[in-house]
Amino acid sequence: MKMTIGEIAKAINANIDNFNDQLLNRPVTGVCFDTRKMQAGQLFIPLAGEHDGHDYIDNAILGGAVATLWSKEHVDRLPLKIPALVVDDPLAAFQELSQYYLDKINPRVIAVTGSNGKTTTKDMVAAILSSTFHVTKTHDNFNNEIGVPYTILQMESNTEFLVVEMGMDRPGQLDFLSKLAQPDVAIITMIGEAHIEFFGTRDKIADAKMEITHGLKADGYFVYDGDEPLLRQRAETVDVAQSTFGRNPQNDVYALDSQDGQYATEFHVNLWPEISFTIPMMGDYNVNNALAAISVGRIFQIHPTIMQQKLAKFDLTKNRTEWLTGKKGERILSDVYNSNPTAAKEVLRAFKATETNGRRIAVLGDMLELGDHSEEMHASLADSIDPALISVIYLIGDDMRALYTKLKPVFAPENLHYYRADQLDQLSQDLESDLTPDDEVMLKASHGLHLENVVAKLVAKPTK
């Protein structure tokens, strides 16, 4: 990001307090809403949440902020050391500034959503496009009303493609984000049960996911899972070019086969059957994410052999089916950023097929936002757990009690462990003492369970 204080003020129609003409030309190199991560030259965005960001202005100044947005409701305590850009609502001004900057840089925008696979698909799309273009992509999972504007404002001035992940947990959210980013390509990876607590049915989830097309440019493309009837039905109402992917020959891009390995998955595509594609991650379900990315590469005329090369070594966001090595030498499959029944069953299926000289151990935490369906959906994971293939189960969270009850008849007591959500430290200690160098352990849960803390305690520290 490269703008001046004066340019920012004009873009969001802000009044500037505490300034002189020379300060208007001072460069701003980025934005920050977390003072713990503030860097010199940035604009501070004081957001209201559990805490009011205005209360942290002194920390922002110490961190090097050169200016701040400032709510007019707090003009009685304006900062004295840096210019304050006074606005009605800092979040709305932040979003408005991102739209201005997006128009200024004018990249092509690829927007990705879906119940599963959106982060992996985002990473794959960015890898393919980066072979030919300057690309900026969403960092981690910055995919909401704060994360999307932040991603936009992280773009360098030479960005040609912006690959932005969009999440949702309520109706209208994707409508807003899509209209903010105005994508050239909108991708829906799949429709699952994620957030069904808020929507009630998969039909309503599909309706909400389709909102990603609301800001789609008239000459844009809609890329979606053509094996999903809910999407095919709704796609008929979208008057733009379309491309489908999946496993059935009715799709524009479909997999002819797939070979799931422990650390990589190989497959072939109908368009170029002579080319063998490989992605550096386990799980046949990840092939669909690659097909979505290939669909985008095809739209922008990336040669298939270049796509093949980029997919083989793309940079995967942390904690998505990521293999790590534990302190004892055990292999750890970390997939702890999020979870829902579809995703959990897919990872369990792939994990059962891995080769190991020791035991397979699964650590499963609550899948959140399943509402009235939660007990039933947690218990349904039992169908994907075979005691002959997964030797030991660790469960954590209130909702996982339903799975614990379902598994008790088929697991010996010493091989089935249950913990309340507040017993994460105890789970970590018990698991660490149980593991042997030959074991493999898989961890999967919604982020609210914070199984990443268990992973951090298990993994080997890098040597200096």
The pLDDT tens digits for 352-405 are: 999 999 999 999 999 998 888 899 999 999 999 999 999 999 999 999 999 999
User: pTM of this prediction?
Assistant: 0.90
Res 82 pLDDT > 90: yes
pLDDT at 70: 97
Nearest Cα residue to 122 out of 104, 103, 109? 109
Model confidence at 464: pLDDT above 70: no
pLDDT value for 401: 97
Classify 322-458 by CATH class: alpha beta
Model pLDDT for residues 325-355, shown as the tens digit of each residue: 999 999 999 999 889 898 899 999 999 999 9
- DSSP state string for 273-299: TTPEEEESS--TTHHHHHHHHHHHHHH
Q: Is the pLDDT of residue 244 over 60?
A: yes
Q: Please report the pLDDT score of residue 109 as a whole number.
A: 98
Helices 202-209 and 173-181: angle between axes, nearest 10 degrees: 20
**Is residue 167 over pLDDT 60?**
yes
pLDDT value for 28: 97
- b/e string for 317-336 if b means 16 or more Cβ within 10 A? bebbbbebebeeebbbbbbb
DSSP 413-441: GGGEEEE-GGGHHHHHHHHHHH--TT-EE
Q: What is the pLDDT of residue 32?
A: 97
Secondary structure (DSSP) of 370-414 = -GGGHHHHHHGGGGG--TTT--EEEEESSTTHHHHHHHTTTS-GG
Choosing among 3.40.190.10, 3.90.1150.10, 3.40.50.620, 3.40.1390.10, the CATH entry for 3-87 is 3.40.1390.10
Nearest by Cα to 312 from 272, 360, 278:
278
Residue 91 near residue 146, CB atoms below 8 Å: yes
Q: Where are the domains of the chain?
A: 3-87, 106-311, 322-458
pLDDT at position 369, please?
A: 84
Binding site listing: 114-120
How many CB atoms sit inside 10 A of residue 258's CB? 19
Q: Is residue 180 classed as helix, strand or coil in its secondary structure?
A: helix
Share of residues in the chain with pLDDT > 90 (%): 86
Q: Is pLDDT of 316 > 60? A: yes
User: What's the pLDDT score for residue 200?
Assistant: 75
pLDDT score for 463: 46
Contacts with 416 (C-beta within 8 Å, 6 or more apart), sequence order:
392, 393, 395, 404, 407, 408
- Give the pLDDT of residue 178: 98
Find out whether 430 and 455 touch, Cβ atoms under 8 Å: no
Average pLDDT on 296-308 reads: 98
Q: In the predicted model, what is the mean pLDDT of residues 2-31?
A: 90
Predicted confidence (pLDDT) at residue 256 exceeds the cutoff of 60: yes
pLDDT digits 0-9 by tens, 63-80: 999 999 999 999 999 998
In this prediction, residue 195 carries a pLDDT of 64
For residue range 91-123, list pLDDT tens digits in order. Answer: 999 999 999 999 999 999 999 999 889 999 999
Residue 8's pLDDT band, with cuts at 50, 70 and 90, is very high
Answer whether residue 436 shows pLDDT above 70.
Answer: yes
Q: Give percent above pLDDT 70 in the chain.
A: 98
Which CATH code of 3.40.1190.10, 1.10.3720.10, 3.40.50.620, 2.40.50.180 fits the domain covering 106-311?
3.40.1190.10
pLDDT of residue 249: 98
For the cut 90, the answer to whether the pLDDT of residue 252 exceeds it is yes
More reliable by pLDDT, 83 or 321: 83
- pLDDT for position 198: 72
Nearest to residue 336, comparing CAs of 419, 446, 418, 427?
Answer: 446
Average pLDDT, the chain: 94
Query: DSSP character for 323?
Result: E
pLDDT of residue 297: 98
Angstrom CA distances, 55 to 47, 66, 99, stand at: 10, 17, 27
For the segment 18-54, what is each residue's pLDDT rounded down to a tens digit?
Answer: 777 778 899 999 999 999 999 999 999 999 988 999 9
pLDDT for 197 equals: 66
Which amino acid, 402? A
Annotated binding site for ATP: 114-120
pLDDT digits (tens, 9 = 90+) for 184-223: 999 999 998 766 667 778 899 999 999 999 999 999 999 9
Q: Considering just the CA atoms, what is the radius of gyration of the chain in Å? A: 24
Mean pLDDT across the stretch 230-254? 97
